[in-house]
Chains A and B, each alone.
Chain A
Amino acid sequence: MPESAKVAVWVKVNGKEYSREVEPRLLLVEFLREELDLCGTHIGCDTTYCGACTVLFNGAAVKSCTMFAVQADGAEITTVEGLEKNGELHPIQRAFADCHGLQCGYCTPGMMLSALQLLSRVKNPDEKQIRRAIAGNTCRCTGYQNIFKAIEAAAEGLGGSHQGG
């Protein structure tokens, strides 16, 4: 096994800047959870399937188990911890709570960030657009119906004026 030199990484996560030296093989999700103590991003399948680790990477939803932290150098990242502002839930969080869009909650952070990419690009998505937007997020409890309702409600709550997080 080669001795790999650590690499400097600068990232802005939820508006806050961080600089760290990391091993190249450190995955972005582990970096967020272990180095930055942001444990809201979950690890599910760890094989690019379930989407529990979804975060926004420069505004685009990505599976953070399938990127190395070194690739995020210079990037802006949004995790579930960045949704709430000044003690106020984000309209997507509020809608998931109001519509019972979760049961165990494990998939919820990833689900909400996929919803955030959708709603920052499409103001009034139809059901098909919502289904496509969360096709990469697996939920084993809800049967998805209340998740669709939550995302529809969030779109209405954002009133089409929201510019994305």
Chain B
Amino acid sequence: MYPRAFHYHRASSLREAAEMLSRLGEGAKLLAGGQSLIPLMKLRFANPADLVDLNFIRGTSYIKQENGAIHIGALTRHAEIQDSAAAAKIPILHDCAAGIADVQVRNRGTIGGSLAEADPSGDWATVLMTLTTDVHCLDGKRKRSVPLRDFVKDAYTTALSHDELVSEVSIQLPPKGSGGAYIAFKRAAPVYPTASAAVQLTVEGDTCKEASIALGCVGLTPVRPSEAESALRGQRLSEKTIAAAAEGARSACDPQGDMRGSAEYKREVVGALVKRAIEAAVRRARGEQVEVSHLYA
């Protein structure tokens, strides 16, 4: 399958890429990892007149810790994050990076591309919603930093203007006693999940001090189930409070029935995923090494 013909531009810096977008107009798109965009172009759902390739820009792929935050360059591939010291330190990042599609896609796909695409089934936005995440953006003239919750506006819609791009993602290190887990339910590795749940908890003894939950693939953007979070926050962790949180997640999500299952089915899946993710997050918050992997149908 061939995409429509397009003009190809190779940017040598992020600023130059932004200037190209500005000069080329609305018909221009950025090419990062291409693992969503290229299939969309082949199926002719996306037909850019101009493509600005970011892959030849030096210094856009890095993971570093500075001032209590992890900074990840926009073009950093999922596979690089999976194997990083940052992912070893924040296990939910490893759950996310290691569970995206398959080896080949993880070798190409980028964190910046995933956030900028804002696919409702994408993994990164859901996971990073549970941490304090800022998306650093730039255009030809200025830079700005947007909290992730304000960055994702709607399905496939972000706060980016046409000639603006993502340069870096920064994630605050979770406090001591905090642990998280991300679990998706998938029919096969290369496909998007049916539903997913990200949970980050701060635990002191038997009490959950802080709870942050986000649900993926069950709304136009990642869903934050506030009732599920308040069912845990300040409460003693027990089967009862965990069940209440799962119930809160079930009622907060807004799934669409499709080839991956009916809305009712996805709601049940969400409840089960949240419960499992809470259990893993609690154990990690207590310092246990817990291996988490996605569930396959």
Instruction: Say yes or no: B5 contacts A136, CB within 8 Å.
Output: no
Beta-carbon contact of A4 and B42 below 8 Å: no
Q: Give the number of A-B contacts (CB < 8 Å).
A: 100
- Looking across the interface, which residue of chain A has its beta carbon closest to that of B190? A49
Give the Cβ gap from B210 to chain A, nearest Cβ, in Å: 33
In the complex, the answer to whether A7 meets B189 with C-beta atoms within 8 Å is no
Given known pairs A48-B35, A136-B189, the reply for A24 and B101 (CB within 8 Å) is: no
Which residue of A25, A47, A135 is within 8 Å of B39 (Cβ)? A47
Q: Which residue of A lies closest to B83 (CB)?
A: A121
Residues of B close to A17: CB separation below 8 A: none
Q: Is A41 close to B, CB under 8 A?
A: no
Considering only residues 2-57 of chain B, those with a C-beta below 8 Å from chain A are 2-8, 10, 31, 34-35, 38-39, 41-43, 49-51, 53, 55-56
Contact residue among A3, A57, A135 (Cβ-Cβ distance under 8 Å from B5): A3
Task: Bin the interface of chain B by size.
Answer: 35 or more
Total interface residues in chain A, CB < 8 Å: 36
Q: Is the CB of A60 within 8 A of B79?
A: yes
CB under 8 Å from chain A, chain B span 140-196: 188-191
For window 229-282 of B, CB contacts with A under 8 Å fall at none
**A73 to B191 alpha-carbon distance, docked (Å):** 29
A-B contact pairs, 14 of them (CB 8 A): A2-B7, A25-B2, A25-B4, A25-B41, A47-B1, A48-B35, A48-B38, A51-B190, A57-B107, A60-B107, A66-B38, A67-B38, A68-B38, A137-B102
Which residues of A are interface residues toward B (Cβ below 8 A)? 1-5, 7, 23-25, 27, 46-51, 54, 57, 60-63, 65-68, 70-71, 73, 114, 117, 132-133, 135-137
